[in-house]
Amino acid sequence: MSGDVYVRRASGLVRNISAWDAMIFNIMVMAPMAILVYGVWASIIYPGAHLPTTALLAIPISIIIGLFYAIFSIAMPRAGGDYIWVSRILHPSIGYAMNFFLFMLVLSVAGAYVPWFTQYVLASIFEAHGLMDLAAAVSTNEFAFAFAVVYYLICAVIISRGAKATTKVLWAYFILVLMGLALYAGALLIVGRQTFAANFEAATGVSYTKVIEEAVKAGFPQGFLLSATLLGLTFTYINFLGFHFSVYLAGEIKEVHRSQIIAIIGAVMVFGLISWLAYEVSYVGMGGEFLGALSYLYAIGSDVYPLEAREPFFMWLFRYAVDPTTYTIFMIGWGAMVLAAILTYVASAVRFVFAWAFDRVVPTFLSNVDVRYHSPYAALIFVTAVAIIFQALWLWTPLLQYFAYIVFGWMIMQIITSIAAIVFPRVRRDIWERSPPIVRAKVGPIPVLSILAVISIIFAAYLGYASISPAFVGELDPGIMAFTIGLYVIGFIIYFISSIYHRMKGIPLELSFKELPPE
C-alpha cells in the first residue's frame, strides 16, 4: 500500500540523533532559566508560594506524563509524534487539527521570544553599562523584526544541515546557559543578601525592609503558604511543558526504544534541577520574602514599587548583586537560552509540516528531503517564511494577545492524545501487537500505557481549567477562547478540503492513515 498512497517508500530522514542529543533538544524546548520570569508571575498570582518547592513538585508530575509520551512514541517512532498516533488511532482529521494548533503555538512562542532577546537581554545589558540610547534603539519593533529575520535565516541554515548539526548547536547553547547559571548561583551565594539589599537601596532609593513592610501592610502574607505553593506549582509546570518534544523527531533518533525514555526523563530531571537551583539561590541571595513582596507591590500597582513599569524579573534584579561586566556575562548565558528555544521551535515546526506532507494532507513537495544532509528543506523554507510573516503580525498587530489561552489549548491536545492511548489496544490491534514489550506491558489486565493516559487526562483537565481561571487570566474573554478553539477548527477545515481534493484525484487521503509511514 505504501508505494501507492505515500510520497515515496522511505522518509529520507536518517536516525543520527543519540539519546543525549534528543535530551538536550527537550531541555532547550523548555527554555532553562526562563524560570526567572515565570517565577515572578507565579508569585504575583499566588502570593506566598515557595518557588523552589514548586520546582521539586513539578519533577514527578512531569516524569509520569513524560513516560506516557515516551512509551507511546516507542509504539510508533515516526517524525510527527502525536500527530501520527492520533491520526492512525482516532481519525486523521483529529490528528491534523491538534498538530496544526501546536504548529501555530510554537511559532507564536518563537515570535514572543524575539522581544525577550532584544528587550530583556540586549536592552538590559546596554542599560547596565549606561548606554541608554542603544537600549532604546534595540527595544523598538523595527529592530526586533530585523533581528528576527536574520535569526530565522540563521536557524534555517543550521536546520538545513540536518538534525545532528542542530543538536550540536543546542549543546553549545546549553553550555552557555550552564555558565550563566553557575555565575548567577555563585555570585548570589558569595555576595549575599546584605550586599544585595544595600545595592538595591542605593540604586532605587527604597530600602529592602520597606519593600517587605509595605507589602505586608497591603495584604502580602508573612511566611510561605502551602496552599499558594500548590497553586503556584501550575506556573512552574507550565515552564516544564515541552519535555517530550523529542517524540516529533522520533524518525531521526537512534535506538528509539531506549533513547526516548532517556531523552524525556533525563530532560525532566536536568531541567528540574536547574529550576530548583535557580529558585533556591535567588531566595538565598536576594531573599524569598523580599522577592514575593516586590512581586506583590508590582501586582497591586503600589506607589512604593521602585522599578517603575518594569517587572521584577529575577534576572533583572541580579544587576543589584554584581558589576555590569559580570551581569553582561550572565545575560549572554540567559540570552543563549532564548535563542536555543527559538531554534527548537522552528525545528519542531519543520517536522510537523514534513509529516503532514508525507501523508499528503498538504502539498507533497513539502516533504522533499536534501540528499546530502537528510533535512526536510522544502518544509524548512515554508516554516521560515511563515515565521517571518508571523513575527510581523506579533509586533504590529494585536494577534499575539489572542494566544493567551495556549495552555488550555495544549491541554486539549494532551487529553486527545491520552484518549487515543486508551483505545489504542482495541482500535489498532495490528500496531499494538507489533509494538515492543514495554509498550504492551500491563498491570493485571490493564496496559501501563492506559494507566499513564488516565493520569495524563487528570493532570491536563486540572491544568486546562487552572489556565483559564480568574486567578490566571481575569475574566474569561470569549474572543480569545473562540480564537483558541478556532485554530482546531481551521485544522479540521484544511484536512477535509485536502480529503475532498484527493478523492477527486482518485486516491482517497484516508488510505495514508491505514498504516504507519515508512521509515
Q: For residues 251 and 77, is the Cβ–Cβ distance under 8 A?
A: yes
Angle between helices 163-204 and 208-217 in degrees, nearest 10: 90
Take residue 254 and report the three cell numbers written for it: 537512534
Stretch (H or E) spanning 173:
helix 163-204
Q: For residues 76 and 257, is the Cβ–Cβ distance under 8 A?
A: no
Q: What is the rounded CA–CA span in Å between residue 294 and residue 208?
A: 9
- How many helices (H) and strands (E) the chain has is answered by 23, 2
Cα of 300 vs its chain's centroid, Å: 29
Residue 324 β-bridge partners: none
Collapsing DSSP states into helix, strand and coil, what is residue 442? strand
Residue 88 neighbours by CB distance under 10 Å: 24
Q: Which amino acid is at 512?
A: S
Q: For residues 459 and 415, is the Cβ–Cβ distance under 8 A?
A: no
Q: What is the rounded CA–CA span in Å between residue 87 and residue 82?
A: 8
Was domain 2-513 assigned CATH 1.10.10.60?
A: no
Residue 383 neighbours by CB distance under 10 Å: 30
Task: Tell me the pLDDT of the chain (519 aa) as tens digits.
Answer: 444 555 656 566 778 899 999 999 999 999 999 999 988 888 888 888 899 999 999 999 999 999 999 999 999 988 889 999 999 999 999 999 999 999 999 999 999 999 999 999 999 999 999 999 999 999 999 999 999 999 999 999 999 999 999 999 999 999 999 999 999 999 999 999 999 999 999 999 999 999 999 999 999 998 888 888 888 888 888 889 999 999 999 989 999 889 999 999 999 999 999 999 999 999 999 999 999 999 999 989 999 999 988 899 999 999 999 999 999 999 999 999 999 999 999 999 999 999 999 999 999 999 998 888 888 999 999 999 999 999 999 999 988 788 888 889 999 999 999 999 999 999 999 999 999 999 999 999 999 999 999 999 999 998 888 888 776 666 888 999 999 999 999 999 999 999 999 998 888 888 888 888 877
Q: What is the pTM of this model?
A: 0.94
